[in-house]
Chains A and B, each alone.
Chain A
Amino acid sequence: MAKKKQEAVFTPIGLNKNNNGKVDKSVELPPATKKKHKELGLSDDDVIAMFDQMYLQRRFEERAMQMYQKGKFGGFLHLYIGQEAISTGTVFALNDDDDIITAYRDHGWGLVRGISAKEGMAELFGKATGCSKGKGGSMHFAKTENHFWGGYGIVGGHIPIGGGFAFANKYLGNGQISTCFFGDGAVDQGALHETLNMSQLWKLPCVYVVENNGYSMGTASNRHTVGEIHERAKGYGMKSALFNGMDALTVYENMKAIADDVRENSIPYFVEIRTYRYRGHSMSDPQKYRTKEELEQYQKTDPVERMKQYLLDEKIAKQKEIDAIQERIEEDVLEAVKFADESPFPEPDALYEDMFAGTPFIHDKK
């Protein structure tokens, strides 16, 4: 007898799942490193500086969100809150002249690579004093003199460019490596796969890093991509890694080892770092695709709180010293808001500037 035909389903269903009360988790976090900072070659001052940096990223964005809600600026605002251990652990593991490129969730990356809170906030406000002169806004923080090549808004679009930096570094023989960060959603773009193939074929010194935060906008990872993300490397015979992104020391340990290997042997890596996005995708996201319970599970692993606790537990800093750091950062960020607010907007002529290096070839300028 013919079986009753099942209705075809394409994308895995995410709604109305019944997990018998178990909290649905969009990413499983691998365990954090057990090593102490000294074993990783980090001094007490280094870990204090890491905390300082993570706290700056956190407060900068919390204030930015407030200013956005007050109507101080418009456009998109994608917050990195929850993912700060990745930017921080990575930058401490890299040389200062190694290249970094990322997607639009870029504030943390900019700050850790030397964009001041003032330059960053002014960029959000669209002011002439912003790191990209107010031309880019939230999605396009950049500081190329510090080898931070910016944030990009077309999902996956910057992946080949990260490969291009590695190509140039190999071509120039300058000993620099390139690192390219993107979300789990970007894994689904063809550009990634073309770039991975060429990178392995040409032995480009580049680390391709997926910051898997569980969601691509409102779509959980398992609803948009198949298998284990880091295992894609196998198809290219490429080295890979998977680790916890909620602990800056774990990120540091792994990225250091990877960067050393990439630099010494001129090879690419494909890395999946598991993390979690605490806020909505952008400012207009009702977040109906996840439960409060899920969010709370990950908030227990808050990378900033974790680092603070580490400083206390290891007696690296007293509560008083931590308070002092936090107060200083709070002031810096408030000063940045004031600076951004009081800075001038770009002059009207700026509309036509930065289009070309030399003669501006502007067609039919009335």
Chain B
Amino acid sequence: MAVLQFREALKEAIDEEMDRDENVFVMGEEVAEYNGAYKVTEGLLDKYGFKRVIDTPISELGFAGIGVGAAMKGLRPIVEFMTFNFAVLAADQIINHASKVRYMLGGQASVPIVFRGPNASAGQLGATHSVAYDSMYAHFPGLSVIYPSEPDDAKGLLKSAIRNDDTVIFMESEQMYGLKGEVSEEKDYIIPIGKAKVKREGEDVTIVATGKMYHIAKQAAEQLAKDGVDAEIIDPRTIKPFDLETVIKSIKKTHRCVIVDEAHPFGGLASEVGFLIQREAFDYLDAPVQRVCLPDVCAPFSKPLFDLWLPDAKNVIEAVNAVMYR
């Protein structure tokens, strides 16, 4: 095991895949000469040159679509968005094109592309730079959505994403790039898409949380442990396909569930997974499933309002208390 920062784990994955397959290339704003807005692509230009590490203009719709076309011709683009908040401009290419081409051409073409970058909020960046888009992309057939929480997951899943023959949305967080963790040194370390991981075993309550929210859940679980509440944390890692089996198995043991989701409440991961749990495990539940998510308002700038807005460990503990009738 090597200890790597999240950004280093991502870079290793990209580097190994670029080394393995010369059709893999990276493009996005400031990815080359600036070495990446968040330094994920640091050093790749030096190693692979201007042909395979490409700075783009601020033309999200254009370069996303050029990526789709290149992928249809057999290349393996990794398209970086400075954040997924800007990928909204490229939504037409991702949603109307990348996700649908294979189906509407009757299987004659594929779009093996990875769209990656930070998702959701990163401090006080205001209303237009703080939205979690994972559930939105998960809504659309034809897309896989990955949102890992730790460097090891990031590396193994990004390698899978690059090798995947269809479009993958791969989400990160500005606030996790510096996070350190042990990463497998196994050669060709691959984590299959769609497999959850039990990251903390517990008996009393199941907490489902991924991405940045996993760390909030972990903090909450540590505090709850001091109070004698033993939480199990499941990190789905992949939003879609969602590994329901692992969650249901856990609920059959704990009989209680809290879902922590960094999106607004309406139609998010929490509502979908909450629905599936009641359908598949209704008889095993000792309390209604609770969710912790953003309120149904935009991100405010002001510090105290922002802190109120973003889910924190206290919110998770309150939700756990609610399902445990404490």
Q: Which residues of A are at the interface with B, using a C-beta cutoff of 8 A?
A: 7-11, 13-15, 73-76, 126-128, 132, 134-137, 139-140, 152-157, 185-186, 188-190, 216-219, 223-225, 288-289, 345-346, 348, 350-352, 355, 362-365
| A136-B126, A219-B34 known; A350 vs B305 contact (CB < 8 Å) | yes
| A140-B301, A154-B89 known; A7 vs B51 contact (CB < 8 Å) | yes
For residue B54, which residues in chain A have a CB less than 8 angstroms away from its CB?
Answer: 10-11
Least Cβ distance of B86 to chain A in Å? 7
**What's the Cα separation between A348 and B309 when bound, in Å?**
10
Q: List 13 other contacts, CB 8 Å, given A8-B51, A11-B56, A136-B126.
A: A7-B49, A9-B51, A73-B124, A139-B126, A153-B129, A156-B89, A185-B57, A218-B34, A224-B57, A224-B58, A351-B309, A362-B295, A362-B297
Main secondary structure, interface of A, reads loop
Asked whether any CB of chain A lies closer than 8 Å to the CB of B32, the reply is yes
* Contact present for B300 and A134 (CB under 8 Å): yes
**What's the Cα separation between A15 and B300 when bound, in Å?**
39
For residue A216, which residues in chain B have a CB less than 8 angstroms away from its CB?
Answer: 57-58
| A11-B54, A134-B302, A364-B265 known; A352 vs B126 contact (CB < 8 Å) | no
Band of interface residues on B = 35 or more
Least Cβ distance of B150 to chain A in Å? 24
* Contact present for A9 and B124 (CB under 8 Å): no
**What's the Cα separation between A73 and B301 when bound, in Å?**
10
* Contact present for B125 and A76 (CB under 8 Å): yes
Contact mask for chain B residues 124-159; partner A; CB cutoff 8 A; 1 contact, 0 none: 111111000000000000000000000000000000
**What's the Cα separation between A135 and B129 when bound, in Å?**
13
**What's the Cα separation between A225 and B89 when bound, in Å?**
18
Asked whether any CB of chain A lies closer than 8 Å to the CB of B266, the reply is yes
Least Cβ distance of B77 to chain A in Å? 12
* Contact present for A225 and B57 (CB under 8 Å): yes
* Contact present for B303 and A345 (CB under 8 Å): yes
In-complex Cβ contact of B86 among A9, A137, A154 (8 A): A154
Please name the residue on chain B nearest to A15 by beta carbon.
B33
Least Cβ distance of B10 to chain A in Å? 19
* Contact present for A348 and B305 (CB under 8 Å): yes
**What's the Cα separation between A329 and B54 when bound, in Å?**
46
* Contact present for A75 and B266 (CB under 8 Å): no
A-B contact pairs, 24 of them (CB 8 A): A11-B54, A15-B33, A76-B125, A137-B302, A140-B301, A152-B128, A154-B85, A154-B128, A156-B58, A157-B128, A188-B57, A188-B59, A189-B58, A190-B59, A217-B34, A218-B34, A288-B34, A289-B34, A345-B305, A350-B300, A352-B295, A355-B298, A363-B296, A365-B296
In-complex Cβ contact of B30 among A126, A128, A135, A218 (8 A): A218
* Contact present for B305 and A351 (CB under 8 Å): yes
* Contact present for B296 and A362 (CB under 8 Å): yes
Asked whether any CB of chain A lies closer than 8 Å to the CB of B312, the reply is no
In-complex Cβ contact of A189 among B89, B126, B127 (8 A): B89
